[in-house]
Structure 1
Amino acid sequence: MNQELRVAAYAVCVRHEQILLARWVARDGTKRWTLPGGGMEHGEDPVETAVREVEEETGYDAEMTVLLGVDSSRRRYPRKLGTYADFQALRIIYEARITGGSLRPETGGSTDLAAWHPLAAVEDLDRAELIDTGLRLWRERPALGRFAVNG
């Protein structure tokens, strides 16, 4: 089984009771809302990753203001020739504020739309679970930046 690790940084941008989200497009064409962010490039600082990804996916300049936490998820999925991958995602989640730019969709990337959504309506969106994790970190601010394994 191949072991794969992806380290990524994301931003929770909330203002006026709305959250900034990007719509992720999966390889099979499925679309889900997610937090703006993405994979770190080799040698890149996580804060720089989050700033870059927010700009790429939404058009906004952003400042990361607080480290909310680190989330880890793991899954197994099929690869070529009947093998499987043991995939782990390590996600660094920041609180951010918009400092400039203007809203626009990403071109030629993994997302196709960016938009502000009322916090009260997030529950009704077709969304990645990362949004729920990010919002829970933003609301609860756990001391260790993570929730108990069964929490």
Structure 2
Amino acid sequence: MAAYAVCVRDGQILLARSPADDGTPEWVLPGGGMEHGEDPYDTVRRELMEETGYRIEVTGLLGIDSRRHRFARESLLARITDHHHVRIIYTGEIVGGGLRNEVNGSTDMAAWHDLDAVPDLRHIRLVDVALRMWRERPVAGRFAEEQS
């Protein structure tokens, strides 16, 4: 379980940069994993502060991104790993703090990017999902083609 925020102002979105599995930097939505017993609302506020330096007000719930990923694993005990991501996506408004990079964390940089430039950035799929939710505001919090 994880919680993320789409923060857009003046035609730009706030993103954080994180190394991919191969070490190549890629842009991600600010946010991250919930701690045991933590409310997702508190998670997204904490994670955004850690990764970007900003305090946010959560202004809405966009939806849930639920994905199952199975992949081969090089282990004697398990040949297949079955991982399930459940990511809560909020909208947020910056209410304080200042842009800074995270030190000794899961990201190494935070920056504002023009919305039109996002497709050309190396980024994870969740950025596209979240921006689509932000633009289309699906009533059910997910898209019809994802419903089973």
TM-score by length of 1: 0.92
Q: Specify the SS of the correspondent of 2:95.
A: strand
1:3 matched residue in structure 2: none
2:110 matched residue in structure 1: 114
Supply the AA of the counterpart residue of 1:22: A
1:26 matched residue in structure 2: 20
**How far off its partner does 1:49 sit?**
0.4
Q: Specify the SS of the correspondent of 2:103.
A: coil
- Bigger Cα displacement from structure 2, 77-86 vs 130-139: 77-86
1:87 aligns with 2:83: yes
Residues 74-129 of structure 1, C-alpha deviations (whole Å, 9 max, x = no match): 11123322522100100000000001001111111111100000001011100001
TM-score by length of 2: 0.93
2:11 matched residue in structure 1: 17
CA distance in 2, matches of 1:97, 1:150: 28
**How far off its partner does 1:15 sit?**
0.2
**How far off its partner does 1:150 sit?**
5.0
1:4 matched residue in structure 2: none
Give unmatched runs, 5+ long, in structure 2: none
CA distance in 2, matches of 1:60, 1:105: 10
- Bigger Cα displacement from structure 2, 24-33 vs 118-127: 24-33
1:97 matched residue in structure 2: 93
Equivalent residue in structure 2 for 1:130, among 126, 130, 137: 126
Q: Specify the SS of the correspondent of 1:62.
A: strand
Supply the AA of the counterpart residue of 1:72: S
CA distance in 2, matches of 1:90, 1:149: 17
Aligned residue pair count: 145
Supply the AA of the counterpart residue of 1:91: R
Asked if the contact 1:26–1:110 (Cα under 8 Å) also holds between the matched residues in 2, the reply is: no
Aligned alpha-carbon RMSD (Å): 1.3
Give unmatched runs, 5+ long, in structure 1: 1-6
1:144 matched residue in structure 2: 140
**How far off its partner does 1:27 sit?**
4.3
1:60 aligns with 2:51: no
Indicate the structure with greater strand content: 1
**How far off its partner does 1:24 sit?**
1.3
